[in-house]
Amino acid sequence: MAQVSHSHPTACLALADGTVFFGHGFGATGQTVAELCFNTAMTGYQEIMTDPSYAGQIVTFTFPHIGNTGVNAEDDETAAPVSEGMVVKWDPTTPSNWRATEALSNWLAARGRIAIGGVDTRRLTRAIRQQGAPHAAIAHNPDGVFDTDALVAAARDFPGLEGMDLAKSVTCAQSYSWDEMRWAWPEGYEKQTEAKYKVVAVDYGAKRNILRCLASVGCDITVVPATATAEDILAHKPDGVFLSNGPGDPAATGTYAVPMIQEILTQTNLPIFGICLGHQMLALALGGKTIKMNHGHHGANHPVKDIDTGKVEITSMNHGFAVDAQTLPAGVRQTHISLFDGSNCGIAMEGRPVYSVQHHPEASPGPQDSFYLFEKFALSMAAR
């Protein structure tokens, strides 16, 4: 096996097709393997790295200046980074932002996440778009010595996300309550003290800002693990059920999530609202199917059309699987579509307050065009 030594490069990114990129390592040292995707957002790298939906993925950031605003504890979407690694064009500079409490490189190192800078991310992104999301190995060694053959072999041995249930690896261990609302100047995060609706949120990898949005529209939230049964959920006597975002293959997670959702649909007339993986779980429970996308949707500038109103919303997205609209049964209609590729972005059950969207209306990071969906959920519970 080839032992390649470079005096300057300290990190290496190897793709399963044999392509190798060298760059400058930062964050943790070591090696990891995952699926490689790209994200087009210009802000929110900390929220992206801590989004549980990125489990099993290395993120290539197309915006070149990553790390310039540092990191802070308030912007974490979960307790620690979930994305396996980071690929950027320029090495992070010293942070310059009044909210920053730590540099990105130190933050990644303390949390065991590898990053590589100095990569031609435009070339890498074009390859992902043309060939699909590749399997990749990323390594950081300050000595600059890499076994490239072994890295390529590790990338080829990665099993891929199809058939992989990752929700169990990122869900909460036990139920808990949530009452924190969205960040607002100058108070920051305030507590919900006048909740009107009891909501059970099923955690397939829930982002904190989604829970904050629910609290901000008057919800008293109990978060339950992904494996919670219908009996567990209904024991809380909820006014509505929320299905969260999350990672992995929806068909794999659906082996236990779908029967639970179907039981709630059969036994109750409760409002149900799903986002991202929760959207895909609802579609499967209603009889639809999901498919693996070529390179997925990852960014904060995705145009989505609301079919009912004709309105176009600019949305935040993060998904590598999609609902196949052609498989939706009678009584389930498509409500939103992507204006990039026409893929499904929303469904609703005819005559019942049951609906979901593929995009992330919590806007963390991203635009707030779709926040009205949380208000719609609250109105559905108020109408019971």
Q: For 247-289, write each residue's pLDDT tens digit.
A: 999 999 999 999 999 999 999 999 999 999 999 999 999 999 9
360 is catalytic: yes
Exposure of 114 by Cβ count < 10 A (0-12 exposed, 13-18 middle, 19+ buried)? buried
Please indicate whether residue 313 is annotated as part of the active site.
Answer: no
Contacts of 139 (CB under 8 A, 6+ apart): 11, 12, 13, 14, 25, 30, 31, 114, 146, 151
pLDDT given at position 29: 98
What b-and-e string marks burial along 154-182, b requiring 16 or more CB atoms within 10 Å of the CB? bbeebeebeebbbbbbbbbeebeebebbb
Q: 123: which residues sit within 8 A by CB, 6+ positions away?
A: none
User: Nearest CA to 13 among 27, 25, 1?
Assistant: 25
Domain ranges of the chain: 4-157, 167-382
**CA distance readout (Å), 75 to 12, 61, 162, 296, 324:** 29, 18, 30, 24, 33
What is the pTM (predicted TM-score) of this model? Answer: 0.96
Segment 304-324, tens digit of pLDDT? 999 999 999 999 999 999 999
pLDDT in tens, 232-249: 999 999 999 999 999 999
Task: Note the pLDDT of residue 114.
Answer: 98
Which DSSP string do the residues of 325-380 spell out, in sequence order?
Answer: GGGPPTTEEEEEEETTT--EEEEEETTSSEEEESSBTT-TTS--TTTHHHHHHHHH
Point out the catalytic residue in the list 37, 213, 276, 345.
276
- Asked if the model's pLDDT at residue 1 lies above 80, the reply is no
* pLDDT recorded at residue 8: 84
Type and span of the H or E element at 296: strand 289-306
Confidence of residue 2 (pLDDT cuts 50, 70, 90): very low
Residue 55: what residue type? A
pLDDT at 207: 98
Question: Does the structure show a pLDDT above 80 at 6?
Answer: no
The highest-level CATH class for domain 167-382 is: alpha beta
Beta strands at 332-338 and 289-306: parallel, antiparallel or unpaired: antiparallel
Q: pLDDT averaged over the chain? A: 96
Q: What is the pLDDT of residues 8-39, one digit of tens each?
A: 899 999 999 999 999 999 999 999 999 999 99
Region 4-157: CATH code: 3.50.30.20
Q: Give the rounded percent of residues in the chain with a pLDDT score beyond 90.
A: 96
Paired sense of beta strands 219-225 and 197-203, if any: parallel
Q: Which residue of the set 47, 77, 313, 362 is catalytic?
A: 362
* Residue from 295, 319, 336, 360 carrying the catalytic annotation: 360
Mean pLDDT of 172-192: 95
pLDDT for position 286:
98
Matching fold, domains 4-157 and 167-382: no
Place of tokens 């600019």: 314
Percent of the chain with pLDDT over 70: 98
- pLDDT at residue 161 greater than cutoff 60: yes
**Residue type at position 53:** S
Q: Which residue has the higher pLDDT, 5 or 19?
A: 19
Other Cβ atoms less than 10 A from the Cβ of 235: the count is 12
Q: How far apart, in Å, do the first and last CA atoms of the chain sit?
A: 66
Residue 7 has pLDDT above 80, yes or no: no
Indicate if the pLDDT at residue 354 is higher than 80.
yes
**Stronger pLDDT, 1 or 302, i.e. the higher one:** 302
The residue written with tokens 């990323």 in the block is 138
Annotated active-site residue 362? The verdict is yes
